[in-house]
């Protein structure tokens, strides 16, 4: 049985975790808003510059040249925006994952301690039931750790693929299209 002090301590720890996660979520939203404001300002500025440049065009050839010159910076800016968006998303998700792992580890430790205490006071002759219970808890803990490791590996693989895709896209943007 948990004492009133233990319950209050657990409640306080849960509230601190909740407020910490809420703070991290707001930080992520602030970064996203800042990124979108910066991107919008840049888009407006680019649009104004493009409009001014298109108004000074004298012939169709010059217009085609102007249009072609606008596509590469646009693609680079889109790739940079996607990269920043991904960084914000993974940073916020990482903070949540760390908090969840810490909470889970604490809960597992507390459960294990409570189970050990309960099993230590088990009546005589229940050794086989105690062994079965300990094995079940151990198997569940191992399964949970395996799932956590698989999720981490999948996340790392997805991040690696995203980074590789970004590098390929950046290289493709920088390589001028061959004329036919």
Q: What are the pLDDT digits (tens) for 5-56?
A: 878 888 898 889 889 889 999 999 999 999 999 999 999 999 999 889 888 8
137 vs 64, more confident: 64
Query: What is the model's pLDDT at position 179?
Result: 44
Report the C-alpha gap between 179 and 5 in whole angstroms.
76
| pLDDT tens digits for range 104-149 | 888 778 777 777 777 777 777 777 887 887 788 788 878 878 887 8
Q: Select from 53, 64, 75, 50 the least CA-distant residue to 176.
A: 75
Q: Which pLDDT belongs to residue 31?
A: 95
CB within 8 Å of 108: residues ≥ 6 apart? 141, 144
The pLDDT of residue 75: 80
The secondary structure of 119-178 as a DSSP string is: HHTPPTT-HHHHHHHHHHHHHHHHHHHHHHHHHHHHHHHHHHHHHHHHHHHHHHHHSPPP
Q: Which residue has the higher pLDDT, 177 or 146?
A: 146
pLDDT confidence band for 1 (50 / 70 / 90): low
State the Cα torsion 109-114-117-122 to the nearest 10°: -130
CA 93 – CA 37 distance, rounded (Å): 22
Write the pLDDT tens digit of every residue in 151-162.
788 878 887 887
Cα gap 46→35, rounded to integer Å: 16
> Confidence class of residue 99 from pLDDT cuts 50, 70 and 90?
confident
Spatial contact of 52 and 127, defined as CB atoms under 8 Å apart? no
pLDDT for position 178: 47
Kindly tell me if the per-residue pLDDT of 176 is higher than 60: no
End-to-end Cα spacing for the chain: 80
Contact 85, 35 (CB under 8 A): yes
Look at residue 88 in the predicted model and tell me its pLDDT: 92
């Amino acid at each position: 049985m948990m004492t009133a002090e233990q319950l209050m301590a657990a409640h306080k720890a849960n509230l601190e975790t909740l407020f910490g996660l809420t703070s991290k979520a707001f930080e992520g939203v602030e970064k996203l808003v800042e990124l979108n404001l910066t991107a919008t300002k840049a888009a407006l500025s680019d649009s104004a510059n493009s409009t001014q440049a298109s108004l000074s065009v004298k012939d169709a050839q010059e217009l085609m040249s102007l249009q072609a010159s606008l596509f590469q910076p646009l693609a680079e800016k889109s790739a940079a925006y996607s990269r920043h968006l991904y960084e914000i998303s993974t940073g916020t998700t990482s903070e949540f994952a760390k908090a969840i792992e810490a909470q889970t580890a604490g809960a597992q430790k507390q459960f294990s301690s409570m189970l050990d205490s309960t099993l230590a006071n088990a009546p005589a002759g229940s050794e086989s039931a105690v062994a079965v219970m300990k094995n079940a808890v151990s198997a569940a803990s191992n399964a949970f750790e395996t799932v956590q490791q698989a999720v981490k590996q999948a996340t790392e693989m997805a991040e690696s693929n995203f980074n590789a895709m970004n590098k390929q896209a950046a290289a493709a943007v920088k390589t001028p299209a061959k004329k036919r």
